[in-house]
């Protein structure tokens, strides 16, 4: 009888420790998930390309990505124009701010951002942004 009591105590201790480990792991998961959502992503390049769920692509300086209120400043977008005579399509980079309401930034909804990519410093977009800034 004493041997079975000892075995019962050992089993109870093992189950208690296992339960505590499961609770600790669940707590760590919840804390990491909660705090991980509010971490802002840092980008290695000055400008980022942001694709939204409506298919729009904007280029600019993205701050607060990974948090609840990302903001895009120095915003540019591409307009495609077709030459009616040659039917050739040309893409033009346009800086936001020339519109009637003269926006200087875009406050984005995090759940509308499909993905973000860095704009390479040697890319055509980066080159056109630099040209736009020097011509102002």
pLDDT value at residue 30: 79
Asked whether residue 41 is assigned to any structural domain, the reply reads no
Residues 52 and 103 in one domain: yes
Beta carbons of 59 and 95 less than 8 angstroms apart:
no
Count of domains in the chain? 2
Residues 63 and 15 in one domain: no
The first and second tokens of residue 136, run together, are 């102002």
Entry pTM: 0.68
Residues 9 and 58 in one domain: no
pLDDT per residue, tens digit, the chain (136 aa), is 577 788 888 889 989 988 999 999 988 887 777 665 556 788 999 999 999 999 999 999 999 998 889 999 999 999 989 999 998 988 889 999 888 888 889 999 999 999 999 999 999 999 999 988 887 6
32: containing domain? 1-36
pLDDT value at residue 37: 54
Residues 59 and 110 in one domain: yes
Residues 96 and 59 in one domain: yes
Residues 110 and 78 in one domain: yes
pLDDT value at residue 70: 94
Residues 68 and 18 in one domain: no
The first and second tokens of residue 41, run together, are 């992503």
pLDDT value at residue 31: 77
CB half-sphere exposure, 60, CA atoms < 13 A: 26
Residues 31 and 54 in one domain: no
Residues 56 and 119 in one domain: yes
**Residue 60 burial (CB < 10 Å; 0-12/13-18/19+)?**
buried
pLDDT value at residue 118: 95
């Amino acid at each position: 009888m004493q041997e079975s009591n000892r075995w019962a105590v050992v089993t109870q201790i093992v189950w208690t420790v296992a339960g505590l480990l499961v609770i600790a792991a669940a707590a760590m998961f919840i804390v990491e998930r909660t705090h991980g959502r509010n971490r802002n992503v840092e980008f290695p390049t000055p400008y980022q390309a942001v694709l939204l769920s409506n298919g729009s692509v904007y280029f600019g300086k993205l701050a607060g990505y990974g948090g609840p209120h990302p903001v895009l400043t120095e915003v540019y977008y591409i307009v495609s124009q077709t030459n009616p005579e040659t039917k050739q399509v040309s893409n033009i980079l346009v800086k936001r701010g020339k519109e009637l309401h003269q926006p200087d930034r875009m406050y984005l909804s995090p759940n509308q951002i499909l993905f973000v990519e860095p704009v390479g410093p040697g890319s055509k977009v980066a080159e056109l942004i630099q040209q736009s800034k020097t011509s102002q």
